[in-house]
Structure formats: C-alpha cells, structure tokens
Structure 1
Amino acid sequence: MASNGWRGEGAANVRTQLHRALGLREAIGIGVGGTIGGGIFVLVGGAAGLAGPAALLAFGLAFLASLLIALPYAELACRYPEAGGGYAFARSVLGRRWGFLMGWVFWGAYLFVSGYVTLGFGGYLHALTGIPVPAGALGLIAACAAVNVAGVRLSGQVQFAVITLAVAGLVGFGAIGLPHVDADNFKPFMPTGPAGILSATLLTFLAFGGFDMVAAAGEEVENPQRNLPLAILLTLAIVLGIYLLVAFVALGTMDWQGLGASGAPLRDAADRFLGPAGSAVVAIIAVLTTAATANAVLVVTSRISFAMARDDLLPGRLARINAATGAPTVAILVSAALMALVALAGSVHISTSIGGFLYVLHFIPPLVVLMKLRRRGGNATGFRMPLARLLLPLAFAMSLALLLSSGAIGIAGGAAWLAVGLLADRVRR
C-alpha cells in the first residue's frame, strides 16, 4: 500500500499517543454535552412539527434504539479503548478497508450533524442579541477550536461546567412549567399518524446521539474498563429523564404547530409561563448548551480524523500532536473548517437528513464487529452486553428502520458522501 504520500514529511517522528486525561466526570460531560444541546433545544421543535404531541413517543422509541446500540458499544469500548470509537472497533476486527469506510461515515455523520447544532446556537443567539445566525455559528466554531487546541483537559473541564449549568436550567424549566401544562395541547395526540412518528424518531434518535462521543475519546479516558461503559450508559439515563420532562412541558404549554415552526422552540414555550425575562434566561441556557454540544462534536470529529491519519488512512499531518498541550491541533483545525462549511450551507433540514442517515449507518459495522467477536468466543474484559442473541438482531432491525426514515435527501446525500470516500480510498491505494 502506498501510504508515504499520506503521512506527511516527518510524521513518523511525531508522537501519536494521546494522554489519558479524562475522568468519569469529564467523560460524562462530553457525552451529555454532546447529546443535550442540539437535541432538546433545537430538535424538539422539529419533532413536534413532524409528529405533534406524539413526539413524546418518538423520544421513547429513539431511546430504545439508542439503548440497543449503546450496550454493544459499551462492550466494544472496553475491548478497544482507542481514539475513534466505532472506527477503531471496525478497523481492528474487520480490517483496514472497512475501517476506512467506517471512519469516513463516522466523520461525515458528525460533520453534517454539526450543522443543526451550530445553526441552533446561532438561532438562539440571534433571539438574544440580533447577531445574524451564520455569524453566530461561525463564531462558535472558532471559539470551540481555540478551546480544543489548548488541550483536552481544559475542553473537558469547560464542558462539565457548562453542562452542569444547562442541566440545572432545563430541570428548572420543567419543574416550573409543569403546573402550566394544558391537556388540550395534547389533542389530537397523533395528528400526522404513524408515519409522522417514524420521521420524528430519526430526529429524536439524533437527539440521543452523544454516547458514542465518549467511545471516540476512549484513548483519553482514565481507567477505561470502568469509566467508558459507565459514562456511555449514564449519559443515556441522564438525557432520557431530562428530555421527557422538558418535551412534555414544551408540548403542554404551546401548540405543536407553533412549536414546530419556531427557530427557538424552548424560548417560545418558556415565554408562555415565564414571560420575557424567563424566556431570555432559557435562551441564554440554550446558547451555552448548544455551545457545549458543538465543542463535543469538534472533539469527536477531530479524534476520528486523527485516528484514521495515524493508521495511514488520511493525510499524516492530521495525526500530529502538539507537544505542549497533547492536542491533535491539525485535526482540530481541519474539522473546524469543515464544520464551518456545513454551517454556511444554512439548512438544518439538509444537515439533519444527511447527518441522520450517516449517523445511523455508522452504527451497523460495530454491531457486525460484536457478532464476530462473540462467535470467536473468549472472555471480554470489563462490561459485557447482556442477552446478545436477542438484542443484537433487534439493534440491526431498528437501525435499518431508521435508515429508511431518513428520506430521499438523507439517502442521496449520504450516498454522495460515501462515493467521495470510496474515491479517496482508491486514490490512497
């Protein structure tokens, strides 16, 4: 394999091992921060517009799908606590070619998903300050790049502080709003029928995306056999409780059509029972939380490209690590630039459709990996998925259903990204 052209001059002399600098708290911060921001502050409106009050069912279905996939992910993260998450799993077991495709899909998924996060941040910032949405999105990406270049420990500490504030604000929103819920807002409960619920489930599945970010940073997590599965499963548990509370209050205090059409859905819902001052506080929390999500997205995209470059599957300069900070600086800056291009496209619908398709697709190879490992036998180190013979087929079935629900735009855009990756792989070889 002709790989020298991809490594870059002097790449072989650069240290490419990341520091284990993230404890359980910081790992949960990356997982919860990567999940809550876009999901509850941006996608809750889109899910309401697709399914009406039955968006609550979509959140429940998405949680079940996420749990089915999180269990094998937790086992694999213990077996392969390396940078890149699912990419590392596929490359180690299925080989370099499948590893490249898995990494390419994984990278693309989060690059496209970043669009709804950064534009959601821009929408809430615009509601507060009047700053244009694209300018706010680009400013956020630049700030996240600066924090990540400074080092992963600082990034993890900032992440945990912001998410602690955001979780407190969301719980407060739910607790204060519960007495104001109007049962009439839930009638009719399924205005768009089962098809609307299925479409909303893909969006809400994206809202649970984040547990895999923990695995992607697995090489930087301390005591990975204990902390990785705990961080993955605790991320889902924390997020489920917050989502159900906040979505119930939002749907119960505002009609579903208005919620679906809003660019800042939770701010508009808060205005109904907290007034202008309260809605401004919610918007501030939304700005902070979507910023934390964007930071987590940049962590995972840069670590995927770093891991692929270290394995000679992408240009070697992406595997360079700053000796002073321990951060993969080039990978961070390249991923930030690509996130900026997605934000400049300016379409939440397109980014969620393509990102959703790729995001679901990237879970299928790890499921294949675990099936193969289980057939080989042997004892796994650390966490072991229960009832694998029953739950793995269910995870496959749920993944295929979600792929179909991504629609023509998602399938076409995802196929185009795959085609670019296949061409790049052919050039590399």
Structure 2
Amino acid sequence: MTLARRLLRTKPTERIVAEGGRGELRRTMSLWQLTLFSVGATLGTGIFVILGQAVPKAGPAVVLAFALAAVTALFSALSYAELAGTIPVSGSSYSYAYATLGELVAWVCGWCLMLEYAVSVAAVAVGWGEYLNAFLRSLSGFELPEAITRSPGQEGGVVNVTGIVIVLLATWLLLYGASESATANAVFVLVKVAVLVFFCVVAFTAFSSRNLAPFAPMGVAGITAAASQVFFSYIGFDAASTAGEEARNPRRDLPLAILLSLVLVTVVYMLVAVAAVGALPWTDFDSRSTEASLSHIADLASGATWPGLVVSFGAVISIASVVLTTIYGQTRILFAMSRDGLIPRVFQRVNPRRQVPVANTLIVAAFVSVLAGLVPLGQLAEATSIGTLFAFAIVNVGVLVLRRRSPELPRGFRTPLFPVTPVLGAILCVVVMAGLARVTWLAFGLWMLAGLVCYFLYGYGHSRLNAEVR
C-alpha cells in the first residue's frame, strides 16, 4: 500500500462503533445529563468572559454578532447530530473524520480538538480569578492580589494561581466518575442559568433605547469581527458527542442533546447581550478590563452592589462548570485516539473501580494548568476558535462523504435539507475563520506543523490500522 493510501485509509464505521461498545466506560448518562453537559461546556464562556471584548468591535450590533455565530454553529451542530447518532463513540469529530476522510485528516482533526478543548479550558480559567475577586470584593471588601489572579503580560500578573486552582478542583471531581461529574455539572448549570436570568431582570430595569444608537457603528466588518470572537462562546455544544460511550441510549440521545443545548444557549446569550448593551452605552465597555463586565453592569443598573455580587457568584459557578465539562471532553477524545494507537497507550488506561481514564485526566489537567497560569485570555480565545472552526468544517464534509459512501447505515438523526446544510456549514466556518487576526492564523499554522511532526514521528508508526497492512 502506498504512503498516500495509508494516510487516507478510513476506519470502517462498523468497527469504530464495535470498539466503542466494549464497555470500557460505564453507560450512565441520560438525555438530561448529556444536554446539561453540552450546556455546561458552552454557557457562560462568552457571556461572562468575552462579551466585553466583542462590544467595542461591533457596538450594539454585538447582538447580531451572536446571532451570526449561532447560525454558524447551528449548521455544524446539525452535522454533529447526524454523525453522533451514526457513530456514537467517545472520539467525537476525530472518530467521524477517521470513518469518512482517513487517518491523516482524523489526526489533524484530533489535533485541532486538543487546541479547542485544552486551550478553551485554560481561557475560561484565566477569567475565573477576576470574577472570584469581584465576588470577594462585593462580599467583604477583600480581594486576592493581582500577582496570583492575572497571567504574565497582564498588569500586575505573575502566575494565575486561581486559574490553576479551578482546573485542579474540576479534575478532582472528574476522578470520582462520569456519573458524579454529570450530577455536579447539572447543579452548576441550573445555578448559572438562574443567575443570568437574574442579570437580565436587573439590566432591563435600566434599559434605554438610546444606548442602541447607532446600532452598527463599525458596519458589517465590525459585526463579522465580533462574530469571529464570540464564536468562542458557542464552543462546547459538541461536548455531548464525547460521551458516546457513556450515554445510555446514544443513537437517540446524542443528537437531541447537541441540538437542545445549542437552542438553550443561544436564547440565553441573545437575552443577556440585549440587556447588557441596553443598560450600558457601548462606548463605556472597556476591552482591556472585561472579565467582570456583567457584574459591573448589574451594579450600575441597580445603583447597588448586591446584584453584582450575585452575578459574580454565578460567574464563579459558571466557569467552574465549563472547566469541568471541557476537561471531560478532552480526556475522552484522547482516549479514542489512544485506542487507535495514534498517541501513547497511557491515555487509554481506565481505572477498573471508577471506570475513568485516571492518568489521561491527570496529564490533561497538568497541561491545562500551565496554560491557565501563564497565558493571557485574549490570545487563548481566538486560538481556540480557529481550531474549533477547522474541526467543525471537517465534520460538515464528513456528513457529505458518509451519506454518499454508506447511505444504508442506521442513523439516529438525519441533517435536514441535505446537502445544503452541511455545505453551508463548511462555508460559514471558513467565513468566520477569515475574520480572525493574522497572528491567530500564524499560531494555528505552527500548531498544525507541530501536529504533523508528532504524527509522523509517533502516530504513523504506532497506528493500529496501518499495522494491519504491513
């Protein structure tokens, strides 16, 4: 077999599903838990951390930026839903690419997912210290020093110890088991939804239509640029797809969980964005100090400090939920890649009592802790967006390929308006990627180059699929 054929050799869908059904991981998650897992991985990131950076780019039209990002995410979510119901395993888009586009593309997709999940965890963990300080300041007047709540490069930052702490707390929960983690996440999600509804009620009391004019001061270019940034806030709707081997009824529940979570998150984002820009003139948003912007708006809208205290508490809980679910997703993708031999077997080892990949979880936690402690938020957010968009584009193409190659496969969900939906999904991913900064593209190119080096130095030689044809 030639090198090109080896690199593009696909793994049979039936084999991927069979390997995922061996029972290495315990099937305990219901539709409700899966939906909340995706909501937990998504809701909070953009609103609590990114909104303040996006408003100066688009003005009040940041609402349209959220809508554009949501539409972009929806097309990809429909493709994810179809493939999750067809290939219900832990690997998410990595496994879907392996079944449709071949090993090299699967590796690239998995490498992008490492960027998406690991870096997005670090990005939200970076903002956790700011909200923790806002909460402590409102509660008692005490706050932690900037040296341990900000990253190097930020004013006064040395090491973001608070970011490291929240990663370690989430890791501790994950080591107890998937069911216990899902229960904790359900509580976190209900709390943060309640807090965001509370914020909307408070902010709408100070709503002024004058704050919405001019609506789009930066024009279409500003809306597109903001959409590219706030797309980061939709990362995570695919988290349920990483639980394919721990779902009770994966073919039915995974597609439903993905779509339900995206609808719920979009409604909340739109309401919060309208409330925020209606309560505070867009020119008053400071892109240099955005981590605690919602609590600041709540205080201004009410003329008191206790609403900001409530919002800050919600952010502390919200970001903890994102960290928990996203680390979970990262470990399950690495588990699938290890099972295929593309990364070391240590990532595949499962604790027989807890039925969780302990070493895998600890390694991911260590890597994320370093990022959270040492890298500023803004750079992390855009680097995550480009990796995610690339993976989403691959998933859209994968739906087209699998429908053509294996139309007879049982599917728990079929993408409507095929093939228009996945085609538009792929195109919109490229459009949003084009709005990202050059430095982000440079960082992505270097990341891809490093990934190819790793594949040819280790993955290609240890691939279990390639070993069969030698």
After TM superposition, the score normalised by the length of structure 1 is: 0.94
Match of 2:292 in 1: 264
Alignment RMSD (CA, Å): 1.5
Cα distance in 2, alignment partners of residues 192 and 413 from structure 1: 27
Q: From 142, 147, 154, give the equivalent of 2:173.
A: 147
Q: How does 1:203-352 map to 2 (within 5 A)?
A: 203-261=229-287, 262-274=290-302, 275-352=304-381
Cα distance in 2, alignment partners of residues 409 and 115 from structure 1: 19
Once the two structures are TM-superposed, the CA of residue 18 in structure 1 deviates from its matched residue by 1.4
1:367 aligns with 2:396: yes
1:114–1:342: 8 Å Cα contact kept in structure 2? no
Match of 2:52 in 1: 45
Deviations 1:218-245 (A, max 9, x none): 2111101221111111101111111111
Once the two structures are TM-superposed, the CA of residue 179 in structure 1 deviates from its matched residue by 2.9
Match of 1:6 in 2: none
Cα distance in 2, alignment partners of residues 278 and 126 from structure 1: 15
Instruction: Classify the secondary structure of the residue corresponding to 2:291.
Output: coil
Cα distance in 2, alignment partners of residues 75 and 93 from structure 1: 13
Counterpart of 1:112, as a letter, is V
Counterpart of 2:296, as a letter, is D
Q: From 421, 433, 439, give the equivalent of 1:391.
A: 421
Match of 1:68 in 2: 75
Q: From 437, 442, 445, give the equivalent of 1:415.
A: 445
Match of 1:382 in 2: 412
Cα distance in 2, alignment partners of residues 175 and 388 from structure 1: 40
Cα distance in 1, alignment partners of residues 84 and 109 from structure 2: 15
Once the two structures are TM-superposed, the CA of residue 312 in structure 1 deviates from its matched residue by 0.5
More helix by share: 1
1:78–1:224: 8 Å Cα contact kept in structure 2? yes
Count of aligned pairs: 416
Identity, in percent, stands at: 31
2:126–2:373: 8 Å Cα contact kept in structure 1? no
- Structure 1 ranges of 4+ moved more than 4 A: none
1:203–1:356: 8 Å Cα contact kept in structure 2? yes
Instruction: Classify the secondary structure of the residue corresponding to 1:219.
Output: coil
Match of 1:12 in 2: none
Once the two structures are TM-superposed, the CA of residue 346 in structure 1 deviates from its matched residue by 3.0
Counterpart of 1:358, as a letter, is G
Match of 1:5 in 2: none
1:179 aligns with 2:205: yes
Counterpart of 2:416, as a letter, is P
Q: Any stretches of 5+ residues in structure 2 without a counterpart?
A: 4-21, 137-142, 150-159, 462-470
Counterpart of 1:280, as a letter, is L
2:164–2:370: 8 Å Cα contact kept in structure 1? no
2:338–2:345: 8 Å Cα contact kept in structure 1? yes
Counterpart of 2:439, as a letter, is I
Deviations 1:104-161 (A, max 9, x none): 1111122222232101212101222322321211100000111001111111000001
Cα distance in 2, alignment partners of residues 409 and 300 from structure 1: 27
1:115–1:347: 8 Å Cα contact kept in structure 2? no
Once the two structures are TM-superposed, the CA of residue 379 in structure 1 deviates from its matched residue by 4.9
2:45–2:124: 8 Å Cα contact kept in structure 1? yes
Match of 2:468 in 1: none
Structure 1 residues 319 and 270, CA gap change in structure 2 (3 angstroms): same
1:167 aligns with 2:193: yes
Match of 1:427 in 2: 457
Structure 1 residues 260 and 304, CA gap change in structure 2 (3 angstroms): farther
Once the two structures are TM-superposed, the CA of residue 194 in structure 1 deviates from its matched residue by 1.6
Once the two structures are TM-superposed, the CA of residue 92 in structure 1 deviates from its matched residue by 2.3
Q: Once structures 1 and 2 are overlaid, which stretch shifts more, 345-354 or 162-171?
A: 345-354
Match of 2:11 in 1: none
1:26 aligns with 2:54: no
2:50–2:291: 8 Å Cα contact kept in structure 1? no
Once the two structures are TM-superposed, the CA of residue 271 in structure 1 deviates from its matched residue by 0.6
Instruction: Classify the secondary structure of the residue corresponding to 1:220.
Output: coil
Counterpart of 2:292, as a letter, is A
1:118–1:343: 8 Å Cα contact kept in structure 2? yes
Cα distance in 1, alignment partners of residues 381 and 128 from structure 2: 15
1:354–1:409: 8 Å Cα contact kept in structure 2? no
Cα distance in 2, alignment partners of residues 148 and 52 from structure 1: 39
Counterpart of 2:104, as a letter, is R
Counterpart of 1:268, as a letter, is H
1:16–1:319: 8 Å Cα contact kept in structure 2? no
Cα distance in 1, alignment partners of residues 91 and 284 from structure 2: 39
1:31–1:235: 8 Å Cα contact kept in structure 2? yes
Greater C-alpha radius of gyration: 2
